[in-house]
Structure 1
Amino acid sequence: MASRGTPDPGLFGPASVTWQMHGDPMMWVAGVRALYLQALHPRAVRGVMQNSDFRQDAWGRLLRTADFVGTTTYGTTEAAEKAGARVRKIHARLTATDPETGERYGVDEPALLLWVHCAEIDSYLHVLRRSGFPLTDAQADRYIGEHRVGARLVGLDPDAVPADRAELAAYFARVRPELAAGPEARTVDDFLLRPPTHPLLVPAREVLWRRVADLAYASLPPYAHALYGRPAPRPATVTRRLRATGALLRCVPARLRWQLPPKHILRAMARLGPGARPAPYKVGR
């Protein structure tokens, strides 16, 4: 929290790994990978499907997630806390039903919130590092640890959240037996492959969006490919594609990219000064 007269750096601040990473354009590919991964937890994805029309609102869900990440990363402490409170309030009143057992459960179960959190953080870290964003192992661990703060915002106990790569890997190994590509995951997969769009935009969807979705899917871990039942290119091929895509997107001037609403980064720079500009080379400072 900033003192009186001092600009509020927010929950993470310009000295964090998170601040530098989340300004990278490959976060969009990482976000789609997170959707693919999250859909493999039947209880978690059921909570989404039973409380919204995913096929009609998937774009809105993706944009709301991006806005939440942007607010909690670059917004003031007050804005981040309010965003977290809104999410907790929404989750607290939503339930889902297991069609096989009839069990009714809350979507804010800690185990489900933890899965969503870990799938997101793993996806952000994996895609950015593999696409060429410069992070040492120690900095990757620091990034994971920083996001215990974000986990608190959605209602998790920070002490129960993985703090580094070893703990995150152990978590995924522990939860893997619970994962499956059920009907809900198939719906997510189908949407991501062929999202509804205006007929005039179908060619653009096939040229642009399909490449993003294919790349996000290809970057999933092998067990996810096995569950979905669709093969992926060889890992070396995927890495080359990720690095080429990252290099291309990073050629677009950051100021131009950051003009897209809701302009979280530009607002943060206006609040804290030009020195707060996120950049990969600042991670090691």
Structure 2
Amino acid sequence: MKSILSPVKRRLVRTFSNGSEGVPQWQLDLAEGGDPGYHLPGSAVWAVHGSMSPIVAGIRTLLMQSLHPGALAGVHEHSNFREDPLGRLANTIRWIFTVTYGSTEAAGNASRRVRQLHEAVHGTYSDNSGAERGYSANDPELASWIHLTFTDAFLTAHKLWGGSIPGGPDAYVKEWAQAGSLMGVEDPPLCEEDMHRQLDRWYESGELRGDARVAETVEFIRNPPLNRLLRPGYRVLFAGAVYSLEPRYRQMLGLAVPRLGPVALPVRSATKLVLGVVRLALGRRGPSELAARERLRRLGLPAADER
């Protein structure tokens, strides 16, 4: 089985690491540091981020974030996502895994690095009333939207395709609030109910919208420039991300769960199958988690080997 899946593994590794054949140095560096970090084995964050469901969650996050015209303006006007989408993906993965598995110093440095890059991301956009409004990637309000859509996507995807969560959904939301704080979010939700309440406020505010630029972005997310070996599986995962969205957001994005006439296709089970293949190809534990466990063993924490 390993030999059959080895071409898939190579392509997946290259995709997630922006073309690198081996393990990027930043992942190996997660073995360094003088403290356990913000999250440990057995935490809700390790359970969610160590599963395969984040692959679907990442797609869902991009779809949701595109509904805020300020966030979307920042992406279109200040990033090269079309020319180098895998580079942007790799940078996002680096931040997520460093905050998840790194020491507190590494997590802080990674977050400061992202915020420094965000300093240049500012401009104006027309809101839904036609008024010109300013946006900044480091604005706490916009950072809140980014954090909420991330947390909601990762939690929802894990509920659908992951395993159990130690402490339940509330534990994940509370633990990942630390990441929001590192990125300048002033009031990150501390439980699932609060997260949904904040998302509802955004929806009811009238600030979100689906327009031609959103449709263009959705089409790019639907058909990114992936290696042809990965495209069939990605189509299923994209359908899974659409399936996981609330109907109100699907409508704004102009998306629908795939159907064959009146019959809904088995998207949930198909997504589970593809994620299972990815798990077989990549292995149970990724390099970032293994490096973190190495650091924890060095620090004398038995939990590193118990879970």
Q: TM-score range by the shorter chain?
A: 0.7 to 0.9
1:56 equivalent in alignment to 2:80: no
User: Structure 2 counterpart of 1:38, which letter?
Assistant: Q
How far 1:182 sits from its partner (Å)?
A: 2.4
1:269 equivalent in alignment to 2:293: yes
Q: Do the aligned partners of 1:131 and 1:244 also contact (CA within 8 Å) in 2? A: no
Percent pairwise identity: 31
**Cα gap change, 1:69/1:277 in structure 2, threshold over 3 Å: closer, same or farther?**
farther
Normalising by structure 1, report the TM-score: 0.82
Q: Which residue of 2 aligns with 1:32?
A: 59
Matches within 5 A, 1:133-144: 133-135=163-165, 138-144=167-173
Partners in 2 of 1:60 and 1:277 — Cα distance?
33
Q: Do the aligned partners of 1:131 and 1:245 also contact (CA within 8 Å) in 2? A: no
Partners in 2 of 1:70 and 1:24 — Cα distance?
12
How far 1:42 sits from its partner (Å)?
A: 1.3
Partners in 1 of 2:234 and 2:271 — Cα distance?
15
How far 1:250 sits from its partner (Å)?
A: 4.2
Extract unaligned runs of 5+ from structure 1.
Answer: 1-5
Q: Do the aligned partners of 2:124 and 2:134 also contact (CA within 8 Å) in 1? A: yes
**Cα gap change, 1:190/1:8 in structure 2, threshold over 3 Å: closer, same or farther?**
same
Note the aligned Cα RMSD (angstroms). Answer: 2.5
Q: Which residue of 2 aligns with 1:121?
A: 151
**Cα gap change, 1:37/1:178 in structure 2, threshold over 3 Å: closer, same or farther?**
same
1:107 equivalent in alignment to 2:137: yes
**Cα gap change, 1:275/1:254 in structure 2, threshold over 3 Å: closer, same or farther?**
farther
* Paired positions, count: 262
Matches within 5 A, 1:61-210: 61-99=88-126, 100-135=130-165, 138-157=167-186, 160-176=187-203, 177-197=206-226, 201=227, 203-210=228-235
Q: Do the aligned partners of 2:222 and 2:238 also contact (CA within 8 Å) in 1? A: yes
User: Structure 2 counterpart of 1:183, which letter?
Assistant: A
Cα displacement string for residues 230-252 of structure 1 (whole angstroms, at most 9, x for unaligned residues): 21148894433344444444445
Extract unaligned runs of 5+ from structure 2.
Answer: 1-32
Partners in 2 of 1:103 and 1:179 — Cα distance?
13
Partners in 2 of 1:60 and 1:154 — Cα distance?
20
Q: Do the aligned partners of 1:12 and 1:18 also contact (CA within 8 Å) in 2? A: yes
Cα displacement string for residues 109-151 of structure 1 (whole angstroms, at most 9, x for unaligned residues): 2111001101011111100111141137x52101101112101
**Cα gap change, 1:146/1:236 in structure 2, threshold over 3 Å: closer, same or farther?**
farther
Q: Do the aligned partners of 1:269 and 1:277 also contact (CA within 8 Å) in 2? A: yes
